[in-house]
Amino acid sequence: MSDEQAVRFACQGEELVGILGRPAAPRALGVVIVVGGPQYRTGSHRQFTLLARHLLQEGFAVLRFDCRGMGDSGGEFPGFEHISADIAAAVDTLCEHIPAVRRVVLWGATGVMALMLAGGWYYTQQQMQTGAPPTPQTPEPHHALPTPEETTQHEAQPVDPFAQEGAATGEAPVATETPVAQAGAATQPSVVAGPLAPRNVSLEQAAQSGNLVAQYELALQRLGSGRTREGVALLRAAADRGLVMAQYRMAKLYERGEGVTADLNTARQWTERAAAGGNRRAMHDLGVYFARGEGAPLDEAAAFRWFRQAAELGVADSQYNLGVLYQQGRGVTANPGEALFWFSVAARQGDQDAAARATSLETQVAATQMEQARARAQSFRPRAAIAVANGDFGPRPWAQRPAT
């Protein structure tokens, strides 16, 4: 039997309130209703309540919620350009309460969605244990966290000129593997979260019209072709307006001194914005900054928190680093069982060093701990991540070729 229940969940230290619709037999597609304008989750004339209940009757799990500072939620309203963290928390809550949901789409007012970066905003629950999203970046080493026993570093293979970390400090690239942040009924229409550019529009035209994703992609083209000043300007414009991937790339520019003066403090600030917006590689990188005390104060407890978030989203490097922190009691109470679990999870993604550490730890823990860690690692699945915040922008009109 379908029902509705009140749920409370955290977002950046504040408590958010929402209503969760739980179908008797939930579909793989869930819906998060994003409220626009100065109203709360009920909506004018109860429109969101009626919509949610209609979707619930059709078998869709649905969550309507109040952003920070709205309705029953705590905190101060950050403005609709800065509610990506609220949305990410809502998606996590929906997926946590309804495990059957593998894909989540947003439903909201056009004005709000236009601010949410145009071109489609949706969430993808990773279908593979690698948690890899469609947009390629750079495979990276997991030795982001230096340890007393380890001094060797792996070489990364750059895919684009901004994906490497640590270049500004002379260290091996650290944190830019494929980034990331779900299937509905056959009759379900496409969900678009903002105005799409006209069909067959060029990338340049879309960027000129203000499409943030187009500005971001054109910026990468300009930077790759040596038109650095133009590329940096385009990238900064998209980042300033809230495109998380552009914020992440700005961090890389300042980290490496590409088109700007190298500045780890500024790089870390951009990384924080991208991490808060849901970019899982930025979460990992921010953990690296705190773990090393470079561009940020040395704070292993903060490093642990950010590595944990990225690890739960499927980042193998963070999973490995969590294992190190748990093993050595850095930023968290030492726990060999948890260390074994996270090394085992990373090993399942092909991390050979994690596999070696897991094998070594298995000889140091009780048999029951070993079996529990193995079973947990076997069943581990990464949490849903924000697709657009991790480079999965969906179909773009300038990327489509006309039919012949």
pLDDT surpassing 70 at residue 27: yes
Among 59, 94, 116, give the residue marking a domain's end.
116
Is 78 within the bounds of a domain? yes
Among 116, 148, 166, give the residue marking a domain's end.
116
Q: How far apart are the first and last CA of the chain?
A: 49
**Main-chain dihedrals φ then ψ at residue 61, nearest 5 degrees:** -65, 135
Lowest mean pLDDT among 92-106, 209-223, 347-361: 92-106
> Of residues 207 and 197, which shows the higher confidence score?
207
Predicted pLDDT of residue 313: 95
Tell me the residue range of the domain where 327 lies: 315-381
pLDDT tens figures, 84-98: 788 888 898 999 899
From residue 185, how far is each of 30, 114, 122, 277 by CA, in Å? Answer: 11, 26, 16, 29
Is 40 within the bounds of a domain? yes
Q: Which of 308, 297, 295, 323 is nearest to 150 (CA)?
A: 323
Mean pLDDT of the residues in the chain: 78
In which element (H, E) is residue 6 found?
Answer: strand 3-11
Q: Which of 134, 154, 171 is nearest to 317 (CA)?
A: 154
pLDDT tens figures, 268-326: 999 999 999 999 999 999 999 999 998 999 999 999 999 999 999 999 999 999 999 99
Q: Do residues 19 and 41 touch, judged by C-beta distance below 8 A? A: yes
What is the number of domains present in the chain? 2
Is 371 within the bounds of a domain? yes
> Of residues 151 and 325, which shows the higher confidence score?
325
Predicted pLDDT of residue 44: 56
Predicted pLDDT of residue 100: 86
Query: Which of 117-145 are b and which e, b meaning 16 or more Cβ less than 10 Å from the residue's Cβ?
Result: bbbbbbbbbbeebbbbbeeebbbbbbbbb
Lowest mean pLDDT among 103-117, 308-322, 323-337: 103-117
Is 167 within the bounds of a domain? no
- CATH assignment at residue 54: 3.40.50.1820
For range 197-223, the mean pLDDT = 88
Lowest mean pLDDT among 63-72, 215-224, 333-342, 385-394: 63-72
For range 248-273, the mean pLDDT = 96
Q: Which of 326, 328, 329, 310 is nearest to 318 (CA)?
A: 310
Residue 339 C-alpha from the chain's centroid:
23
> How many residues appear in the chain?
404
Is 400 within the bounds of a domain? no
Is 211 within the bounds of a domain? no
Is 145 within the bounds of a domain? no
Is 398 within the bounds of a domain? no
